[in-house]
Structure 1
Amino acid sequence: MELFAVEIRTAQWQPMILWYTSALNMKSAVRSEEEGYALLAGRGWRLSVLELQEDEPRDHSAISLALEVEDIVAARERIEPFLMEPPEPIETSDEGFLQWSTTDPDGNRIKLFQFVAVD
């Protein structure tokens, strides 16, 4: 398992990107204005900045960790005994990865993903 990125959800998407690229000299690796998503790269670390829509309720998550795993099914099975609620299903994205989300005891979102071949 490898930490892929720390995610920040914000209603100040553009100012946050400007701050991290200017103040911390991070580089924009991926940016989609339509989706409100930016992946910024620092030396040895990544930060995802996701635009929080005004009508979107904030959850209890202060941060969100994105963890890349080799086997998402095995990772989920390892985590299941520690969950307080039944696990969500593993989802398949159009972008070419499997994704499964859960939370830690404080309610911080933990997203595990596995890249897979897309036909």
Structure 2
Amino acid sequence: MELFAVEIRTPQWQPMILWYTSALNMKAAVRSVEDGYALLAGRGWRLSLLELQEDEPRDRSAISLALEVENLSAVRERIESLLMEPSAPIETSDEGFLQWTTTDPDGNRIKLFQFVAVD
């Protein structure tokens, strides 16, 4: 398992991108204005900024961790025994990865994903 990125949901998406690229000299690796998504890269670390709409309610999650795993099904099976609530299904993205989202006991979002071949 490898920490892929720390995710921050923010209604100040553009100012946050500017701040992290200017103040911490991070480089924009991926940026999608339509999706409100930016992946910034530093030396040995990544930060995902996700646009939170002003009227969108914040959940308990202060941060999100994006963890890349080799076998998502096996990791999900191990984690499910520790969950208090039923888990969501594994989702397949058009970008070529499987994703499963859960939370830690404090309510922080944990996104686990596995890259797969896209047909």
Q: TM-score range by the shorter chain?
A: over 0.9
Aligned equivalent of 2:14: 14
Determine the structure 2 residue equivalent to 1:41. 41
Counterpart Cα distance in 2 of 1:99 and 1:87: 12
What is the one-letter code of the residue matched to 1:74? A
The reply to whether residue 27 of structure 1 matches residue 54 of structure 2 is no
The separation in 2 between residues aligned to 1:11 and 1:17, in whole angstroms, is 12
1:49-100, Cα deviation, whole Å (9 max, x unpaired): 0000122211100000000000000000111111010111000011110000
Give the TM-score normalised by structure 2. Answer: 0.98
- Corresponding residue of 1:78: 78
Determine the C-alpha separation between the residues in 2 that align with 1:62 and 1:11: 13
For 1:9 and 1:87, the matched residues in 2 are separated by 22
For this pair of structures, how many residues does the alignment match? Answer: 119
Looking at structure 2, the residues matched to 55 and 94 of structure 1 have their Cα atoms a distance apart, in angstroms, of: 27
Structure 1's unaligned 5+ residue stretches are: none
Consecutive aligned runs of 4 or more in structure 1 exceeding 6 Å deviation: none
Give the TM-score of the pair, scaled to structure 1: 0.98
Q: Residue in 1 aligned with 2:5?
A: 5
